[in-house]
Homo-oligomer: A and B are copies of this chain.
């Protein structure tokens, strides 16, 4: 398996990305090639300064960087020798099995849409986040930010995307799918959730358990929580702010420590023809290492293929493909 890593992506690149790659390589052992995409001289220098072995890696040198605040579409099309653009080219050409980055999320999405492309029938790819559950497990929430306005059919697909992801990558058997809403009863909610509830009820091959609420994010009521990207983003950032308050106040607690983003390594772009993993912009070496582990799991699970299969079982697919 060949995993491409954007060495230039993230607030602490290329140092932390390179260190993360060194750590991941140690843990992964043989059978996995890490392809470091970025400024080759800098990357090699960091590796040797930190007692890494340059021979452990492959290098694809690039001369440009897409900054965290750059306009995604413009930067992706104009900076053709940026680490992100080159990474997607490698992925498209089959020279790597996956591409992972903590860089500009928008540019990663542009690459996913243009170079890798959505799976046939997918209305909108999604990104997810992990919810640490009280019972020790994890849940998944999607979308968390790239689809601010969603139609019910889009949320219905998110339910399928999330289920397949939870089952195949997090090994949650028959994952319970909940619809984020503001009341348990099916007639509760806004126009979007009321209509989505009806769609989810008749969606085959998912284990729809009904509405969940803000209070259910961390309990066991649902393994996969479906919402539009606006709601998901607000939920995610609220959780992050709670965690940061807890740390700031010097509270040490095994459960709350599991809110640390660096444990999870980011999210695959769900619903595209290939493995693209996006990590938090503030990723440190540990987060990058876990991004690489997650990427490996997503490739090993053949997630895209499983999603394509699951989607073909959706009765609305034809309607959706119009």
User: A245 to chain B: which residues have CB within 8 Å?
Assistant: 134, 218, 255-256
Q: Which chain B residues border A214 with CB–CB below 8 Å?
A: 233-241
Q: Which residues of B contact A239 (CB under 8 A)?
A: 214, 238, 242
A188 CA / B237 CA spacing, docked (Å): 15
Q: Which residues of B contact A234 (CB under 8 A)?
A: 180, 182, 213-214, 231, 234-235
A233 contacts B145, C-beta separation under 8 Å:
no
Copies of this protein in the assembly total: 2
Specify which of B193, B230, B241 is in contact with A215 (CB 8 Å cutoff): B241
Question: CB distance B241 to A249 under 8 Å?
Answer: no
A182 to B240 CA separation, bound complex (whole angstroms): 14
Count how many chain A residues have C-beta atoms less than 8 Å from C-beta atoms of the other chain: 38
- Report Cα–Cα, A214/B144, bound state, in Å: 12
For A238, list chain B residues within 8 Å (CB).
214-215, 217, 235, 238-239
Bound complex: CA A221 to CA B94 (Å): 47
In the complex, which residues of chain B have a beta carbon less than 8 angstroms from the beta carbon of A244?
A: 215
Residues of A within 8 A of B (CB): 134, 145, 148-149, 180, 182, 189-191, 193, 213-219, 228-231, 233-242, 244-245, 249, 251, 253, 255-256
Complex A-B, nearest 4 residue pairs according to Cβ-Cβ distance, in ascending order: A214-B237, A148-B190, A214-B238, A182-B233
What 4 new A-B contacts, CB under 8 Å, besides A145-B182, A217-B238, A238-B238? A213-B234, A219-B241, A239-B242, A245-B256
